[in-house]
């Protein structure tokens, strides 16, 4: 399969949290897979703006204390400097993050 194409149908319970992470000279994207109730803990990205697009499942993005539901088709802007936490719903959640290229971060997750 091309490094430019990822098939969401390949995601299952054995898929790692970062399912796909392509980079170009200008852009970085992650396909993130959280299992039911898995959490990306609160953290602040001081480097750049991030766009989050929910592809499958449900979750909750807490951005600067404001809870934002995640469901397929929702797009959320997380401005630089915002504190955020993402919690997967009962069936888990698959979402993308897209931002300008820089060194990768790997926030830890936990199960509630």
The model's confidence at residue 10, banded by pLDDT at 50, 70 and 90, is confident
Of residues 94 and 10, the one with the higher pLDDT is: 94
Number of domains in the chain: 1
Owning domain of residue 94: 27-102
Q: Is residue 33 part of a domain?
A: yes
CATH number at residue 50: 2.60.120.10
Q: Is residue 68 part of a domain?
A: yes
CA distance 92 to 108: 16
Q: Is residue 12 part of a domain?
A: no
Identify the CA nearest to 31 among candidates 65, 49, 8, 48.
8
Tens digit of each residue's pLDDT (9 = 90 or more) over 18-27: 998 887 888 8
- Supply the pLDDT for residue 95: 98
- Do 51 and 107 form a contact (C-beta atoms < 8 A)? no
- Supply the pLDDT for residue 63: 97
Tens digit of each residue's pLDDT (9 = 90 or more) over 32-82: 999 999 999 999 988 899 999 999 999 999 999 999 999 999 999 999 999
Q: Is residue 79 part of a domain?
A: yes
DSSP run (H or E) holding 29: strand 27-34
- 110 pLDDT exceeds 70? no
- Supply the pLDDT for residue 103: 56
- Supply the pLDDT for residue 37: 98
């Amino acid at each position: 399969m091309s490094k430019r194409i990822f098939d969401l149908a390949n995601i299952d319970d054995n898929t790692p949290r970062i399912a796909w992470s392509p980079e170009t000279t200008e852009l970085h994207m992650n396909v993130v897979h959280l299992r039911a109730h898995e959490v990306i803990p609160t953290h602040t990205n001081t480097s750049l703006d991030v766009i989050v697009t929910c592809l499958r499942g449900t979750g909750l993005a807490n951005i600067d204390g404001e809870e934002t539901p995640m469901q397929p088709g929702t797009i959320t802007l997380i401005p630089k400097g915002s504190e955020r936490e993402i919690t997967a719903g009962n069936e888990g959640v698959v979402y993308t993050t897209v931002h300008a290229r820089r060194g990768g971060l790997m926030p830890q997750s936990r199960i509630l």
